[in-house]
Amino acid sequence: MNAACLPRAVSRRILCGADRLARGSTLLARRIAACLAEWVARGRRHDLAGWRAALGPLLRLALLTGLGWLVWRLLQARIWWLTWSLAALWVGTAWALTREPKDEGTAEGKQGEAEEGEPGPDRDDVVALLRALAGDRPGVHLSTVLGHLQEHGQAAGWRVTDVRLRLEALGIAVEPKLKVGRVPKRGVAVTALDALPPLDDHEESPDASPAV
């Protein structure tokens, strides 16, 4: 029986489900590739030079290649429980990544409406938070900022990109590779905070939320 023989509503649901799964699979593949690339890049030794500095990424690439070959051999061995488990895990994760927002009448929808109605963060509060997280270091990584916010019940569902966009909207410069503890990652340097121009009186918001 082809799709033309099915009721129109059922056919539409099937097509929507297939489209959602395709979008989720694409998003999942991109996230995995980005995470693996970042993990390989972190293996580089910045206290060394030349080929010695590149040994870490090369070893990590070799490890990933070996793991990929092992998974491929297991799939070729037709271990059905493993094949179906990996397929179910992929489909479930891809489906979850494209989950639609809840209706406006739900608690999540009401929370989103409340957040939209709240004023934006005050830049001075954000700068103070960044300075506190940086401490005596040259700056702070955005992943550290995100982790701090989520530990305090804020920024639920955010990623590092969300933090970057909000900081840049406040005029706070974000460096793509800020070295903190010998690890270069996206972050905000203390010197960038020192160079911020003063805010005009009309730009300040005394009732603003301290969240980034």
* Confidence (pTM): 0.43
Task: Return the beta strands (E) in the chain as ranges.
Answer: 139-141, 175-180, 183-189
Percent of the chain with pLDDT over 90: 19
More confident call, 127 vs 209: 127
Q: At what angle are helices 80-97 and 8-41 packed, to 10 degrees?
A: 100
Q: Which two tokens stand for residue 174?
A: 């974000």
**Spatial separation of the C-alpha atoms in residues 27 and 33, rounded to whole Å:** 10
Q: How confident is the model at residue 167 (pLDDT cuts 50, 70, 90)?
A: very high
> How many helices (H) and strands (E) are present in the chain, helices listed first?
8, 3
Q: Where are the domains of the chain?
A: 3-97, 108-203
Interval 34-46 mean pLDDT: 81
Tell me: pLDDT of 46 over 70.
yes
Q: Which two tokens stand for residue 73?
A: 């051999």
H or E element in which residue 150 lies? helix 142-151
More confident call, 210 vs 142: 142
More confident call, 144 vs 23: 144
Please provide the average confidence, as pLDDT, over all residues in the chain: 78
Tell me: pLDDT of 6 over 60.
no
More confident call, 6 vs 68: 68
Least confident range from 74-83, 101-110, 181-190: namely 101-110
Percent of the chain with pLDDT over 70: 78
111-149: per-residue pLDDT in tens? Answer: 444 444 445 578 889 999 999 999 999 999 999 999 899
* Identity of the residue numbered 101: P
Tell me: pLDDT of 103 over 60.
no
**Contact call for residues 23 and 98 (beta carbons, < 8 A):** yes
Tell me: pLDDT of 207 over 60.
no
More confident call, 31 vs 210: 31
**Contact call for residues 121 and 212 (beta carbons, < 8 A):** yes
| pLDDT score at 26 | 86
Tell me: pLDDT of 201 over 90.
no
Scanning the structure block, which residue is given the tokens 């690339």?
37
122-161 burial, b at 16+ Cβ within 10 Å, e below that, comes to bbbebbebbeebbeebebbbbebbbebbeeeeebeebebe
Tell me: pLDDT of 56 over 80.
yes
| pLDDT score at 195 | 86
3-state DSSP assignment of residue 136 = coil
